[in-house]
Amino acid sequence: MSPASDDTVEHRRLADTDTGRTDWRLWGPYLSGRQWGTVREDYSADGDAWTYLPFDHAHLRAYRWGEDGIAGLTDRHGFLCLALALWNERDDRLKERLFGLTNHEGNHGEDAKEYWWHVDATPSHSYAEMVYRYPQAAFPYAALLAENARRSRDVAEYELRDTGVLEQDRFFDVRVVHAKASPDDVLVEITATNHGPDPAPLHLVPQLWFRNTWSWGRDQRKAGLRLDSAPGEVPRILARHGFLGDLVLEVEDASARVLFCDNESNAEALWGVASRTPYPKDGVNRAVVHGDFAGTNPQHTGTKVGIELAVPAVAAGGSATLRLRLRRPDATEPAFGDGFDAVLAARRREADEFYDAVIPAGVDEIDRQVARRAFAGLMWCQQHYRYSVSEWLEGDPGEPPPPEARRQLGARNVDWGNIALADVISMPDEWEYPWFATWDLAFHCVTVAHVYPELAKQQLLLLTREWAQHPDGSLPAYEWSFSDVNPPVHAWAAWRVYVIDGRRDQDFLLRVLAKLLLNFSWWLNRKDPDGSNLFSGGFLGMDNIGLFDRSRGVPPGWRLEQSDATSWMACYSAWLMRISLELAYHDPAWGDLATTFIERFCAIAEALEKPGRDGVRLWNDDDGFFYDALVLPGGSCQQMRVRSLVGLLPLLAVSTIPAWVPERLPEVMRTLAWFDRHRPDLVDALVPPAEASDAYRVLRVVDPERLTRLCRYLLDETEFLSPHGIRSLSASCSYEQQVGDQRLYIDYEPGESRTGLFGGNSNWRGPVWFPINALLVDALREHGRALGDDFRVECPTGSGRHCTLVEVADEIERRLVALFRPGPDGHRPSDPRDMRDGPLWRDHPTFSEYFHGDTGTGLGASHQTGWTALVAHLVCTTPGVRDRHSG
């Protein structure tokens, strides 16, 4: 915890967890919103994960690697799961998991077709709250599929609200609360409120089940559930597990009915062969929805149980509530009553106290709510993630062997047999991205550090451990293709987390640096094979940003030298230098490593500044902009003059050598003096600050003259500067170029992608993306501190108003945070198109994947709190508290 944090009850829980005195994080909302359609569950020959295990199979098939559910709770090992299920007496199935369109089905790729919001959560998971919006009409599965299939990419996505089933507010808002009385005593309160004008029926059917670990031939131990109360009594369910021990789930309402089955596939319904049990996974669904009890065990035992509370008519404006409690069997105090209420009230109060300590006192109530919701989303989107690639490739002894095609050279993840993860990992969201993405996670950790620095550090280290990082030093990108290359932002995140945590944990820096040295070497050896200090990397996380897929669309025999890849490597060098210098402050031996990174930075800066091998230039002096360059087989070079973030990323490559270095690290000073004498070609990138400051030298790729020219584009509202941040492509862009035998074209797309690259649901051809904006804000402040108040640029371009770069950074930050602030009409610019009308919608800020380049409307994954949660980082580092987070 940061030394600046107050000593709240929640902070003490986290301290107890860190020291091992207690384990408050054993139970948490670690259950994914979707396990179907993931790579982990795909055992097909063609790698089509969406088709191999589709949504329509999810209620019938036992999962191999994980589980899913609505408002789910599980232990951090993913053994025992508890989640919400519902039935409105109109649906053809229980609503027990989130629905959405696959990549093949959506007109802009995969897309969740539900509404839910993460309302609150503490990092120990002592308190968590979310709302799920459930229609009273039949859920329009077929209509959503058919209409989105009919629409082209030029048309907006067809959303649940567009179907009309929510008209007149005919829905239930189902609020689920988890609160812990102790680390292994979890209270659950489910309250469904009818917002419609008429009474409506509802069945609350929370389900408890064990993940199936016994059917695959690797672990024969079988966990079990059984009814531990007499018929007519308040239901009490005993759960027995070899690792977790014994637990009981107690139910407050004696009228609730319990329905037992097994977490096994319904093989007869799926494949026409006998199931392993007469009571397969869909037994609860068949009983509640179809009145068919043949699939439920009359002996009241199994590995899955549903608790059904049927409410014939919830009054208009009224509510129905069901309370549960999961705890050890030897607990003596009453499960419900005043004690239950007291725990809920105490945990809510302690959550308020905790966030009052985390969010600075000067933050207004609107921004405070946005930050708290962002933190809640990050806590809810930590998910149990289990994936052993070697076992996945080999198949399981108890199952048919996987197709040989999945193990052939070039098949998905075949080179990543070292991946063996079974941990709670921060995910971008719980439905569209129910798997980790390495560069997303780095951004998550910067925000997480404000509430729980130890978790942020653990997450960053996790992906550099030998069971995640490849032996060659590369970091896994994401499970769809671990070999894709993400920008190397781990070092930036590690430094930021270290600073937010009070600059006290040098052991963390040592551990992360040791592993990032391997990754840095991998970049040098694999992404700059000719040693030119100009780098390639493929799409580098920015889907659709160029004329073609930069990972797979480069013509044979051609070479792509990338402005962004080269800039990322300059940034990487600068961030690792800063970490090395911090370590050298405590142990001067690390100074040698710092000078190595200084030399690397200067060499890359030189390559960006001047023509390189084959005459490759990334800077265009006529335009005043950086571009990618294509090197043709004969050695000639052509720039791809697309004004995009690719050409602005050199701005990120800036850092400082602290003012304490001359006195404390004389060996570093001798090396720098040697550079001055013997490598004057490199030291252009290593300059004194403009005025007295806490810096001895400044490292920057972009000199003041080029910085001024780039800022003209950056701050031009007809180019990059939108009302809500920096666009990913200039709004003035309309460009075509001959590439090989193709004439390719790109123009500004402020909203959803109109191309099918990367599934079509992720667009970097114009919208505002939060993570790059946050890095730009960071870098502009660094430039501003180095250049001083005398260096000013016009902001916005053409306005006649000249600002320091620190003021420019503040202005961009203001526009980013304003995405989530209600306007005069009551809605936030960031509200998705279908969530703008009425207080029942406006009360819930939505953290979208990216934002329309002109209007700020939320687009892409609608629950990707993930890196969009950086808004909480910006809120918590307002000017009044910025000093303790600088560095």
pLDDT for the residue 409: 87
d(CA 436, CA 428): 7
Q: Which residue has the tokens 């869909």?
A: 282
Which is it for the CA torsion 147, 149, 154, 157, positive or negative? positive
Q: Which residue has the tokens 């994954």?
A: 861
Q: Which residues in 159-190 are b (16+ Cβ under 10 Å) and which e?
A: bbbbbebbeebbbbbbbbbbbbbebbbbbbbb
Q: Which two tokens stand for residue 252?
A: 């407050």
d(CA 695, CA 685): 15
3-state secondary structure of 93: coil
The secondary structure element, H or E, covering residue 382 is strand 382-388
pTM above 0.75, yes or no: yes
3-state secondary structure of 587: coil
Percent of the chain with pLDDT over 90: 88
End-to-end CA distance of the chain: 18
Backbone angles phi, psi at 114, to 5 degrees: -140, 170
3-state secondary structure of 210: strand
Radius of gyration in angstroms for the set of CA atoms belonging to the chain, rounded to a whole number: 28
How many residues does the structure list for the chain?
887
Q: Are 389 and 416 in contact (CB under 8 A)?
A: yes
The parts of the chain modelled with pLDDT lower than 50 are: 1-4, 881-887
Q: Which two tokens stand for residue 382?
A: 């930590």
**Residues 6+ positions from 241 with CB-CB distance below 8 Å:** 79, 80, 210, 223, 247
Using a 10 angstrom Cβ sphere, with 0-12 exposed, 13-18 middle and 19 or more buried, the burial of residue 408 is exposed
d(CA 629, CA 645): 15
Q: Are 656 and 697 in contact (CB under 8 A)?
A: yes
d(CA 69, CA 98): 7
pLDDT of 236-245, one tens digit each? 999 999 999 9
d(CA 300, CA 227): 6
The secondary structure element, H or E, covering residue 578 is helix 563-586
Q: Are 277 and 292 in contact (CB under 8 A)?
A: no
C-beta atoms surrounding 132 within 10 Å: 22
Q: Is the peptide bond before 796 cis (omega within 30 degrees of 0)?
A: yes
Angle at 324 between CA 232 and CA 236, to 5 degrees: 40
Question: What counts of helices (H) and strands (E) characterise the chain?
Answer: 24, 37
3-state secondary structure of 344: helix
Which is it for the CA torsion 595, 596, 601, 607, positive or negative? positive
d(CA 850, CA 8): 34
pLDDT for the residue 886: 44
pLDDT for the residue 880: 52
DSSP conformation class of 32: B
pLDDT for the residue 3: 38
**Residues 6+ positions from 505 with CB-CB distance below 8 Å:** 453, 457, 498
What is the residue-wise DSSP string for 750-805? -SS-SS-GGGGS---SS-B-HHHHHHHHHHHHHHHHHH-TT-EEESSTTSS-EEEH
pLDDT of 598-652, one tens digit each? 999 999 999 998 876 777 899 999 999 999 999 998 888 999 999 999 999 999 9
**Residues 6+ positions from 19 with CB-CB distance below 8 Å:** none
pLDDT for the residue 5: 52
pLDDT for the residue 831: 96
DSSP conformation class of 738: E
**Residues 6+ positions from 823 with CB-CB distance below 8 Å:** 829
Q: Are 822 and 842 in contact (CB under 8 A)?
A: yes
Q: Are 517 and 591 in contact (CB under 8 A)?
A: no
Q: Which two tokens stand for residue 666?
A: 């004389």
d(CA 126, CA 29): 11
